[in-house]
Amino acid sequence: MLKLYSFGPGANSLKPMLALYEKGSEFEQVLLNPAKFEHHSDWFKKINPRGQVPALEDRGKIITESTVICEYLEDEHPTDVKLRPGNSYDTAQMRVWTKWVDEYFCWCVSTIGWHRMVSKMVQDLTDEQFEAKLKDIPVYEQQVKWRRAREGFPQDLLDEEMRKIGYSVRRLDDHLADHEWLAGGVYSLADICNFAIANGMQHGFSELVNTSDTPHLVRWIEQINERPAVKKMFASVPHELRKDD
């Protein structure tokens, strides 16, 4: 059976998880606890040497990178539910949107998320404990990000990331003003991958995402939250394990 390693239905982990729920595919759920740094543990680095979730196991083979996993599921495990549009042109538009999430939208939101959450996660550690944790992180840029989160991100970086978030949500809102879905007139991986980052911003970034400034984006977020597969996923899986879980 398929096995999905993830942090739960948020951010990049949400993408393949929601794809699996939408497709109605059976899979084994393996939740890692980020507060316990489980993704940097030796057992998980045997699965993904980069120490990152999500990762999918399929008959002994491991597929990594959230967007790549989503396309893999469509290629290898097709069901009646199609998460790519029906023609090549619309599929290309879908890929422009999934690429944009991965290269732009997710990064600015992620920095602010780290500023708010990861910084707190590591503040109880002594310097020695923190340095020991860093040694387990295989990707150099991730080490730098953890260090910055502990020291505090520079204000000019935070300001720039907030500018990018503002630009991103306006871009989504503009497009959704006259499109029900992001690509090809159908609910697709473009929506799933953007929803993974945008969902919850109506609370966490309410100064930017709200019914006055980005009504179409809010409509789309609510519309996706009403889907049976989404409701089932959120009802079945904890959003993210905490330190004492």
Interface residue list for its own copies (CB under 8 A): 58, 61, 63-65, 67-69, 71-72, 75-76, 88-89, 91-92, 95-96, 99, 102-103, 140, 167
CB of 136 to its own copies, least distance (A): 19
What is the C-alpha separation between 191 and 22, in angstroms, rounded?
Answer: 12
For its own copies, give the closer residue by CB, 173 or 240.
173
CB of 56 to its own copies, least distance (A): 9
Q: Exposed (0-12), middle (13-18) or buried (19+): which is 203, by Cβ within 10 Å? A: exposed
CB of 104 to its own copies, least distance (A): 9
| Cα dihedral 244, 146, 101, 47 sign | negative
For its own copies, give the closer residue by CB, 50 or 219.
50
CB of 9 to its own copies, least distance (A): 22
CB of 183 to its own copies, least distance (A): 11
Helix axes 11-23, 66-76, angle to 10 degrees: 10
Residues 37, 12 contacting (CB under 8 angstroms): no
CB of 131 to its own copies, least distance (A): 21
For its own copies, give the closer residue by CB, 111 or 202.
111
Q: How many residues does the chain have?
A: 245
For its own copies, give the closer residue by CB, 94 or 224.
94
Please name the residues in contact with 234: beta carbons below 8 A apart, sequence gap of 6 or more: 9, 225
Nearest-10 Cα torsion for 41, 46, 48, 53: -40
Strand pairing class (2-6; 27-31): parallel
For its own copies, give the closer residue by CB, 58 or 136.
58
- Chain Cα centroid distance, residue 227: 18
AA letter at 82: K
For its own copies, give the closer residue by CB, 95 or 227.
95
